[in-house]
Structure 1
Amino acid sequence: MSDLYTQSQLIPNLPNDIALQCLARVPRYHHPILSLVSKSWRSTISSTALYTTRSRIHTTETFLYLNLRINSTFHWYTLFSRTQEKPIKVCQLSSMPTRTIGPAFAVLGSKIYVIGGSIGDIPSNNVWVFDCRFNCWEMGPRMRVCREFAAAGVVDEKIYVLGGCVVDNWARSMNWAEVFDPKTGLWTALPSPIEVRDKWMHASAVVGGRMYAMADRGGVVYDAEGCAWGSVSKRLDLGWRGRAAVVGEVLYCYDYLGKIRGYDVKENVWKELKGVEKGLPKFLCGATMVNFDDKLCVVWEGKGSGKEVDIMCAEIEVWKNEDGGLSGKILWSDMILVVPNGASIVHCLAVDL
């Protein structure tokens, strides 16, 4: 903790630990204003102690992070939650130091991990980490093998990465799957049977502690608790399109008709999400989804003008009916960003801060 924080009284007549809890309850939207009050407040607002306290007293907020491709370059943005008092605010963030094509993404705590990808058409084992608390990039521990278009997911505070490499030698064969433990800062090989070692993975998700990775043909599922591999059902394989999100152990994506559907893993069946048809367009392509504070957040490319594209966003409350069907209610839907024509959404993620 900084000297300013330990030596200065943050709020008169209050112990600093109590004052810190008061500041931790202020929404992050107001932090730039709080940092202008005094040097000690500015130091505290930018300290790890504040975010540790927010997590401990359960005052964290969920923020949406977008990665867009614009004119062959990649740009990062964050979206401040929309409330009745405040309109949507989108801020552009610093770009990742290295431009990569086809990386995997994972969120672990307050950090976004950008894993592998190709640099100049050559797969990389680099891992870039964006600390969302302080808006800065750093190089993370490199993987054991180079990957592009791999699958990634988080189970029990560990990152699992599958595929994205050609199994043409012993090293790639033994390290086709890896797991990263942030406590040790190390990647370790995850033993996998030969029959599951596909090269490219086009989608992945974690449902109930099991990681699903979809390949060009079928896919695999890894049960982290039981350390067991299996195949995904044919029904899941045929119905999974685009970027999916898991809310309430139901996997949501859009079908070939552009409607949002949810896959119930226990029942092995797809169900249409009812109640949102009139408020959303048909997602034939270019839409991505994420679990946003136990709600379904959908981001897509709107029409815009001839030279610009509107980036649209909707937050949807979803639930399972008594009869087992899926229903949703659109909490809000609006344009959040205008970008040049030809831009596309690479990924969206949700981070608690």
Structure 2
Amino acid sequence: MIARMSLNYAVFAVFTFWQKKKKVSHSSVIFMSSLIEDLPDEVSLMCLARIPLYLHPNLSLVCRAWRAAVQSVELLRARHELNFTEDFICVCANEPNNTWQLYDPRRNLWITTPALPSHIRHISYFSAVSVGGKLFVLGGGHNPETLEEGDEGTFATNEVWSYEPVTRKWALCAPMIVPRVSFACGVVNGKIIVAGGFDASRRPTAKAEIFDPENNVWILMPDLNHTNNSLCHGVVVHGKMDVVHMGVSTVQKFDNDEQAWKTDICSWSNNPGVVVRDVVYVKRFTCRCYHNKKEHIEIGSFGMNDFGYGMASLGNEIFLIGGVTFNITVLRFGRGGPPALRLAAAITRCRGIILACTSMRV
């Protein structure tokens, strides 16, 4: 019923668009013939393209043609042509094995993806970012706690996976040049940068590389100025990649013009953080958020255990994810005054320590 109501709305919204355009650049819609009675195939496809992703499982139950349509590349192209976008927070936890969930903040609900088809069970210490409407999961290795006795597993892999939410399919991308775990990762100008971490020999690495998702190719970058025998993470501020090692008071920034890493004093806590409007926010072990003006300023206490939580930013909000009840605490920043807190829907499937989380626009 809900899917049908949404479809009726989509029909009216799309029909005017189609009358103006009269031509759609979809070449392979023959298998979708007669999706909606008395409507051209192009219009039917654009109507389905305006249906939110959370309703796609219901659409798949209508008939085989609709099931093929909502899992097709043609539907993805139609969404792009209509400029129909949705925002999500992508979350992966320790349980179930290699499972991701997408949180829809507009509708306050969760969507479960198919399991990541990696050969590595309980993959951990990886990085995740989104580019061009896709989720990318990079590197990582076996979680030692899940290995059977005598099994050394894979310490570090160079695997890169992409997930397309519209087609609901995982795809194996070109591998990183250097296998790595616990490394810095960020997106700059539509490219994915990875740096540091530990390589397959279990040693710290200064190697850095950049991935072009459109051409599916990795290129080596200049090495970091220094490495450290500790976890590192990355943030992108003012269009530049920053690499910070835990316990180290300096940050390494990549200068896009000079194509070189520059070392500077870290003006904010070296704990993992997120960026809102080019300001870095970090969560300290006191369960409070701070930001990087002239000094660390406390902006809120969340009354939760810090261990195992994840953070992600979306627009003007920070999402703190995890906990005993696995709720999401949303920190909204307005114009002036203290940030406002609200509680979002509890995670429906994932449990345990948050392994990774990131925002994504589809």
TM-score clears 0.5? yes
Q: Given residue 129 of structure 1, which amino acid in structure 2 is its aligned partner?
A: S
Gaps of 5+ in 1: 303-309
1: distance between equivalents of 2:77 and 2:349? 35
Conservation of the 8 A alpha-carbon contact between 1:128 and 1:138: yes
Q: Given residue 104 of structure 1, which amino acid in structure 2 is its aligned partner?
A: S
Question: SS where residue 125 of structure 2 aligns?
Answer: coil
Q: Deviations over 1:56-112 (max 9, x none)?
A: 3332111222211138x54322334463xxx63453631442233322222222322
Question: SS where residue 51 of structure 2 aligns?
Answer: coil
2: distance between equivalents of 1:29 and 1:167? 39
Q: Which residue of 2 aligns with 1:223?
A: 255
1: distance between equivalents of 2:104 and 2:29? 29
Q: How does 1:302-321 map to 2 (within 5 A)?
A: 302=324, 310-319=325-334, 321=336
Conservation of the 8 A alpha-carbon contact between 2:242 and 2:253: yes
Conservation of the 8 A alpha-carbon contact between 1:240 and 1:255: no
Match of 1:328 among 334, 339, 344: 339
Q: Which residue of 1 aligns with 2:313?
A: 291
Q: Given residue 40 of structure 1, which amino acid in structure 2 is its aligned partner?
A: A
Q: How does 1:152-231 map to 2 (within 5 A)?
A: 152-165=185-198, 176-192=207-223, 195-198=225-228, 200-216=230-246, 217=248, 218-231=250-263
1: distance between equivalents of 2:200 and 2:179? 11
**Structure 2 residue 148 is matched with structure 1 residue 148:** no
Q: Which residue of 2 aligns with 1:306?
A: none
Report the CA distance shift for 1:5/1:110 in structure 2 as closer, same or farther (over 3 A): farther
Report the CA distance shift for 1:209/1:57 in structure 2 as closer, same or farther (over 3 A): same
Cα distance, 1:121 vs. partner?
Answer: 5.2
Match of 2:170 among 132, 137, 150: 137
2: distance between equivalents of 1:17 and 1:121? 47
Conservation of the 8 A alpha-carbon contact between 1:312 and 1:335: yes
Q: Given residue 272 of structure 1, which amino acid in structure 2 is its aligned partner?
A: E
Please identify, of 292-301 and 150-159, the stretch whose mean Cα deviation from structure 2 is larger: 292-301
Q: Given residue 77 of structure 2, which amino acid in structure 1 is its aligned partner?
A: T
Question: SS where residue 133 of structure 1 aligns?
Answer: coil
Q: Given residue 76 of structure 1, which amino acid in structure 2 is its aligned partner?
A: W
Conservation of the 8 A alpha-carbon contact between 1:163 and 1:199: no
Conservation of the 8 A alpha-carbon contact between 2:28 and 2:74: no
Give % identity: 24
Question: SS where residue 335 of structure 1 aligns?
Answer: coil
Conservation of the 8 A alpha-carbon contact between 2:73 and 2:167: no
2: distance between equivalents of 1:297 and 1:332? 10
Match of 1:42 among 63, 67, 70: 67
Q: Given residue 138 of structure 1, which amino acid in structure 2 is its aligned partner?
A: A
Q: Which residue of 2 aligns with 1:94?
A: 115
Q: How does 1:48-67 map to 2 (within 5 A)?
A: 48-67=73-92
Which structure has greater strand proportion? 1
Cα distance, 1:125 vs. partner?
Answer: 2.0
2: distance between equivalents of 1:312 and 1:68? 13
Q: Which residue of 2 aligns with 1:259?
A: 288
Q: Deviations over 1:133-164 (max 9, x none)?
A: 33333322112222121111111111101012
Q: Deviations over 1:229-283 (max 9, x none)?
A: 22243332xx232x4221211222223432112224xxx543333xx55xx3245
2: distance between equivalents of 1:121 and 1:154? 26
TM-score, normalised by the number of residues in structure 2? 0.77
**Structure 2 residue 265 is matched with structure 1 residue 244:** no
Question: SS where residue 322 of structure 2 aligns?
Answer: strand
Q: Deviations over 1:16-72 (max 9, x none)?
A: 33333322222222222223344433322111222223233332111222211138x
Q: CA RMSD in A?
A: 3.1
Conservation of the 8 A alpha-carbon contact between 2:70 and 2:167: no
